[in-house]
């Protein structure tokens, strides 16, 4: 396959580099089975979540300028959200991720419709204020710094632009939490490990979700990062949540 990725990952601290290296290697190891496992382990609910993101994003774009609007999908992985945004909003979409094997799968699905740029979410290779909307799905939790990631997402947004963060979160129903916890910490690593060959990657998933801020905490972090009108929507009872916020005019 002809490569059309631009390599732009720049220097960071040692700890951040080590973290990034581990995460990149882990996703490289499961890239070929990533989509299959996503759909299998979520019973295809992940597709509905991405469609909801696209609907909410479309509502934020000005109908008069939708065709010239630019959306950046950060940590786009194999490109499922990038494609859903492209097909459901009418805007132009750019995907970026720092794991080449994930991007190669994305390139196979998106052909020339979506430019894919190899780059680090903590040091995005885009100028300030370049995008009307920036999205990140199941990516923020993997960054060495959630705060650093939010600051970078804000930097590349136009004033008045919107960020959309889709992430696993805390089920709202207290009865559901232990059941979901059992699935997430026992069933998922077992099935994920068997199908992907990397038990580690699918043990990392619940661990990273447990460390990640819940709905209220993430709202607060987004406000601290300089977003206004921060709101979240629970998806499938809060198993995932979609947070949106606006970069002030
Ligand atoms: C769980 S996948 C999500 C992929 C896609 N957004 C989706 O919804 O399926 C997480 C992705 O984040 C990427 N990622 C993690 N840390 C990153 C970073 N610092 N910069 C760019 N991409 C990163 C990984 O390479 C991986 O493709």
The span from the first CA to the last CA of the chain, in angstroms, equals 42
| Mean pLDDT, the chain, whole residue set | 91
Q: Whose CA is nearest to atom 14 of ligand 1?
A: 75
Of 75, 73, 152, 153, give the one whose Cα is nearest residue 113.
73
Strand-pairing partners, residue 245, are 163
Burial bucket for residue 22 (CB in 10 Å: 0-12, 13-18, 19+): middle
- Given a cut of 60, whether residue 8 has pLDDT beyond it is no
- Given a cut of 60, whether residue 81 has pLDDT beyond it is yes
Strand-pairing partners, residue 233, are 242
Total-model pTM? 0.93
| Euclidean distance between CA atoms 211 and 170, whole angstroms | 11
Question: What pLDDT was estimated at residue 220?
Answer: 98
Instruction: Give the distance from CA 187 to its chain's centroid.
Output: 23
Question: What pLDDT was estimated at residue 107?
Answer: 96
> By mean pLDDT, which of 70-79, 132-141, 202-211 is the weakest?
202-211
Residue 149 in contact with residue 143, Cβ under 8 Å?
A: yes
Measured from the Cα of 79, ligand 1's closest atom is 5
Q: Whose CA is nearest to atom 10 of ligand 1?
A: 139
167 lines ligand 1 (CB under 6 A): no
Measured from the Cα of 136, ligand 1's closest atom is 6
HSE at residue 243, side-chain half, CA atoms within 13 A, is 24
61 lines ligand 1 (CB under 6 A): no
Rounded to the nearest angstrom, the distance between the alpha carbon of 69 and the centre of ligand 1 is: 23
57 lines ligand 1 (CB under 6 A): no
| Euclidean distance between CA atoms 103 and 95, whole angstroms | 9
77 lines ligand 1 (CB under 6 A): yes
Average pLDDT over residues 96-119: 96
> By mean pLDDT, which of 8-12, 31-35, 143-147, 203-207 is the weakest?
8-12
| Pocket mutation for ligand 1, best pick of 25, 34, 77, 81 (most atoms within 8 Å of C-beta) | 77
Cα 1 to Cα 5, 31, 36, distances in angstroms: 11, 16, 22
95 lines ligand 1 (CB under 6 A): no
Question: What pLDDT was estimated at residue 140?
Answer: 97
142 lines ligand 1 (CB under 6 A): yes
Q: Whose CA is nearest to atom 26 of ligand 1?
A: 77
Q: Which two tokens stand for residue 129?
A: 């204020």
Average pLDDT over residues 98-122: 96
30 lines ligand 1 (CB under 6 A): no
Rounded to the nearest angstrom, the distance between the alpha carbon of 77 and the centre of ligand 1 is: 5
- Given a cut of 90, whether residue 194 has pLDDT beyond it is no
Measured from the Cα of 120, ligand 1's closest atom is 20
Burial bucket for residue 202 (CB in 10 Å: 0-12, 13-18, 19+): buried
Of 135, 83, 124, 89, give the one whose Cα is nearest residue 105.
83
Instruction: Give the distance from CA 96 to its chain's centroid.
Output: 10
Confidence of residue 11 (pLDDT cuts 50, 70, 90): low
Question: What pLDDT was estimated at residue 176?
Answer: 85
**Buried-exposed string 29-41: b where 16+ CB fall within 10 A, e elsewhere:** bbbebbbebbeeb
């Amino acid at each position: 396959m002809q490569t059309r990725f631009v390599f732009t990952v720049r220097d960071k601290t040692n700890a951040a580099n080590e973290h990034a290296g581990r995460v990149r290697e882990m996703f490289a190891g499961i890239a070929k089975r990533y989509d299959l496992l996503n759909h299998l382990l979520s019973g295809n609910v992940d597709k509905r979540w991405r469609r909801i993101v696209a609907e909410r994003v479309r509502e934020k774009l000005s109908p008069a300028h939708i065709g010239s609007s630019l959306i950046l999908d950060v940590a786009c992985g194999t490109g499922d959200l990038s494609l859903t945004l492209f097909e459901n909003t009418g805007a132009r979409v750019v995907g970026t991720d720092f794991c080449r094997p994930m991007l190669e799968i994305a390139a196979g699905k998106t052909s020339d419709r979506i430019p894919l740029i190899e780059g680090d979410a903590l040091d995005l290779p885009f100028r300030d204020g370049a995008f009307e909307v920036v999205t990140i799905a199941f990516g923020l939790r993997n960054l060495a710094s959630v705060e650093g990631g939010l600051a970078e997402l804000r930097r590349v947004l136009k004033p008045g632009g919107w960020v959309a963060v889709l992430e696993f979160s805390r089920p709202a129903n207290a009865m559901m939490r232990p059941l979901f916890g059992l699935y997430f910490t026992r069933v998922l690593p077992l099935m994920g490990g068997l199908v992907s060959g990397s038990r580690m990657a699918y043990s990392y998933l619940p661990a990273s979700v447990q460390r990640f801020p819940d709905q209220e905490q993430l709202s607060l972090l987004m406000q601290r990062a300089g977003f206004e009108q921060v709101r979240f929507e629970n998806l499938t009872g809060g198993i995932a949540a979609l947070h949106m916020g606006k970069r002030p005019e």
